[in-house]
């Protein structure tokens, strides 16, 4: 019996390898316009477009997986999915645990956002940031009081409710919120922290990293990456 | 869903709302209520099974069996639930993949643990990377279900152990005097009599189980809490249906759902208690 099951399993394995390799793309799905879940319940955003195009070029069969931000690195290294494509800046700290592909999005400034008219000192006030982000790291070292939240939305709500004086996050995430708040929110400062955004890959997975790097090269070379950056982040966005 | 919803940005008022609450994303939200009910429907019998085994093992006359039975009850009850909820699915998943790797890919010589990485061969992945999404969902759900059964089984086991001990010994002895074998005494006298003693404890556990279902969210399963938070959060113009922070409304719906669930449970449990009390030598039994 065992042998039958075993050979059946082996057969499915052999059969499966005839197709393109399946790569599971892990993302947060809560950080528009980088990645979010649209009203059809599907992963959408800049990274969805980039990821799909990369997979097509690298001849990989990609499926999208949602994972909360807090455990996104542990679940990559334990093999629940194969890449992190979730607006994750390349930092030396993260690079010790996982590997990154080259940048597919250039460095862009982080922004402090507060209620309009509030008098906030970003170096000594209470600043909200999402857990385990470069922004949280920055606030922790700045002398301000850091309050961390699991999702980006909760950091906005914290400012709205007065739990925090301001929030520090990527400008690309905050600007649409400021624009549509009807004057409730205002940007009160900018800082440049962190490098560009790359795709996180397990350190033991050098083959996939090489494939993705090659695919990003082709996208940079023919300008399709810049087109997507402009589509999602506006004409004035930094490009390659 | 409706035809008039094709251009959401032009809609207003109730029509907008009717389109908003019927988006595919909201359908996933409604579907997740079924996931919670499914978990309850499966976790309760599973916990009962684990509990029964634990209770019987703790009463065993063989010291080794008794040791394992009591050990199970004491260990789970003594460690925070949340630790077990996080430990069991991760540990089981890695144990399964480790075993499959050893059996299916004996030719791979690289170690499974490479630095931080847990690497098994493609064929050993559980579920396979190429498996469809519902297989992954079902697998995650099953691991969560096992965790619920395991943790609540220990509490159930302790309740059943106490209930078995509460059945008057003279009744068991009477059974023996009539020539019942130990097995018959257990099945025909002990088990039918113990339920009324177990019921208050079991009904408590059922209520706690209902209220513990949002832990699914912690295990990465897209349950009602996940969707309420996701749908209620502030939505900018990048979405079809922009709206401000509506989380309070969504969590309000969850509160009503849970309150209804516990209210109906309480009515059913009260009836069951009355029924089981009939003919018992207890105050409730005599009062009827």
Please state which CATH class domain B3-7+14-76+143-268 belongs to: mainly alpha
In degrees, rounded to 5, the angle at the alpha carbon of residue B36 between the alpha carbons of residues B88 and A36 is: 85
Per-residue confidence at B218, pLDDT binned at 50, 70, 90?
confident
B103 touches chain A (CB under 8 A): yes
Length of chain A measured in residues? 240
Whether B234 and chain A come into contact, CB under 8 Å, resolves to yes
- For chain B, the first-to-last Cα distance in angstroms comes to 55
Contact across the interface for A22 and B129, Cβ inside 8 Å: yes
Q: Is the pLDDT confidence value at A18 over 50?
A: no
Tell me which chain B residues have a C-beta less than 8 angstroms from the C-beta of A78. 90, 93-94, 118
Interface test with B, best of A78, A128, A176 (most B CBs within 10 A): A78
Q: Which of residues 265-284 of B touch A (CB under 8 A)?
A: none
CA distances, B2 to each of A41, B17, B28 (Å): 17, 12, 17
**What is the secondary structure of B226-260 as a DSSP string?**
HHHHHHHS-B-TTSSS-BS--HHHHHHHHHHHHHH
The rounded mean pLDDT for chain A is 89
Say if the Cβ atoms of B119 and A79 lie within 8 Å. Answer: yes
Whether A240 has a pLDDT exceeding 90, the answer reads no
Distance in Å, alpha carbon of A111 to nearest chain B alpha carbon: 17
More confident residue, A9 or B81: B81
pLDDT tens-digit series, residues B41-84 = 999 999 999 999 999 999 999 999 999 999 999 999 899 988 88
Domain ranges of chain B: 3-7+14-76+143-268
Q: Which chain B residues touch A65 with a CB distance below 8 Å?
A: 136
What pLDDT is recorded for position A215? 95
CATH of the domain spanning A110-191: 3.40.190.10
Contact A41 B123 (CB under 8 A): no
Lowest-confidence region among B8-17, B22-31, B151-160: B8-17
pLDDT in tens, B242-279: 998 899 999 999 999 999 999 999 999 999 988 888 87
Chain B residue with Cα closest to A22:
B130
Q: The domain A2-107+195-233 belongs to what CATH superfamily? A: Periplasmic binding protein-like II (3.40.190.10)
Average pLDDT over residues A204-220: 94
Computed over every residue of chain B, the mean pLDDT equals: 90
Q: Is the pLDDT of residue A70 over 50?
A: yes
Higher pLDDT, B78 or B284: B78
Mean pLDDT of A119-135: 93
Whether A227 has a pLDDT exceeding 60, the answer reads yes
Question: Model pTM?
Answer: 0.85
Which phi and psi angles does B18 have, rounded to 5°? -65, -35
pLDDT at B131 over 90: no
Residue with tokens 């940079």: A220
Of residues A19 and B146, which shows the higher confidence score?
A: B146
Of residues B97, B117, B220, nearest to A202 (C-beta): B117
Q: Hey, which bits of chain B come out as E strands?
A: 113-114, 117-118
Distance from CA of A20 to the nearest CA of B (A): 10
ipTM entry: 0.82
What separation in angstroms does the CA of B228 have from each of A100, B257, B263, B264? 33, 12, 22, 23
Contacts of B104 in chain A (CB under 8 A): 6, 9-10, 13
CB contact under 8 A, B115 and A151: no
Asked whether the predicted pLDDT for residue A17 surpasses 50, the reply is no
Residue B10 phi, psi (nearest 5): -90, -5
Residues in chain B: 288
| pLDDT per position as a tens digit, B162-191 | 999 999 999 999 999 999 999 999 999 999
- pLDDT band for A145, please (50, 70, 90 cuts): very high
Element (H, E) at B109: none
Residues of A in Cβ contact (< 8 Å) with B237 = 176, 180
> Is B28 within 8 Å of A68 when comparing Cβ atoms?
no
Over 70: is that where the pLDDT of B95 sits?
Answer: yes
CATH 3.40.190.10 segments of chain A: 2-107+195-233, 110-191
What confidence tier does B1 reach under pLDDT thresholds 50, 70, 90? Answer: low
């Amino acid at each position: 019996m065992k042998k039958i099951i075993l050979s059946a399993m082996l057969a499915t394995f052999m059969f499966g390898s005839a197709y393109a390799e399946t790569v599971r793309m892990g993302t947060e799905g809560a950080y528009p316009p980088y990645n979010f879940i649209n009203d059809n319940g599907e992963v959408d955003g800049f990274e969805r477009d980039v990821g799909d195009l990369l997979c097509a070029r690298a001849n990989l069969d990609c499926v999208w997986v949602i994972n909360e931000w807090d455990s996104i690195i542990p679940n990559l290294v334990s093999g629940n999915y194969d890449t992190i494509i979730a607006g994750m800046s390349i930092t030396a700290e993260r690079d010790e645990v996982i590997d990154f592909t080259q940048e597919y999005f250039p460095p862009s400034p982080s922004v402090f956002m507060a209620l309009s008219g509030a008098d906030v000192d970003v170096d000594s006030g209470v600043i909200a940031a999402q857990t385990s982000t470069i922004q949280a790291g920055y606030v922790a070292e700045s002398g301000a009081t850091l309050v961390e939240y699991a999702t980006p939305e909760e950091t906005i709500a914290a400012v709205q409710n007065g739990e925090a004086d301001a929030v520090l996050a990527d400008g690309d995430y905050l600007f649409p919120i400021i624009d549509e708040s009807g004057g409730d929110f205002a940007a009160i400062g900018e800082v440049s922290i962190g490098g560009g955004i790359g795709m996180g890959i397990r350190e033991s997975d050098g083959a996939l990293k090489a494939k993705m790097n090659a695919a990003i090269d082709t996208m940079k070379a023919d300008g399709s990456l810049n087109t997507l950056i402009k589509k999602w982040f506006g004409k004035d966005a930094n490009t390659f | 869903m409706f035809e008039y919803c094709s251009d959401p940005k032009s809609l207003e008022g109730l029509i907008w709302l009717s389109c908003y609450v019927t988006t595919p994303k909201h359908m996933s939200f409604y579907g997740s209520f079924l996931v919670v009910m499914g978990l309850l429907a499966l976790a309760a019998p599973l916990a009962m099974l684990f509990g029964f085994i634990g209770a019987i093992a703790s009463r065993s006359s063989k010291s080794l069996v008794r040791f394992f039975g009591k050990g199970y009850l004491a260990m789970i009850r003594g460690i925070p639930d949340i630790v077990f909820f996080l430990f069991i699915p991760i540990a089981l998943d890695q144990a399964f993949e480790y075993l499959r790797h050893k059996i299916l890919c004996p030719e791979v010589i690289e170690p499974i643990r490479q630095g931080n990485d847990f690497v098994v061969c493609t064929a050993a992945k559980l579920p396979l990377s190429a498996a469809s999404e519902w297989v992954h969902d079902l697998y995650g759900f099953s691991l969560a279900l096992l965790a619920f059964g395991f943790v609540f089984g220990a509490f159930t086991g302790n309740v059943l152990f106490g209930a078995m001990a509460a059945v008057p010994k003279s009744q068991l002895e009477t059974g023996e005097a009539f020539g019942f074998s130990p097995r018959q005494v257990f099945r025909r006298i002990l088990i039918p009599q113990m339920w009324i003693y177990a019921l208050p404890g079991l009904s408590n556990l059922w209520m706690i189980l209902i209220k513990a279902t949002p832990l699914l969210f912690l295990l990465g399963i897209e349950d009602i809490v996940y969707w309420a938070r996701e749908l209620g959060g502030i939505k900018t113009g990048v979405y079809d249906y922009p709206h401000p922070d509506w989380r309070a409304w969504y969590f309000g719906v969850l509160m009503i759902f849970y309150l209804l669930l516990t209210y109906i449970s309480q009515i059913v449990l009260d009836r069951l208690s009355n029924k089981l009390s009939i003919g018992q030598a207890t105050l409730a039994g005599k009062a009827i």
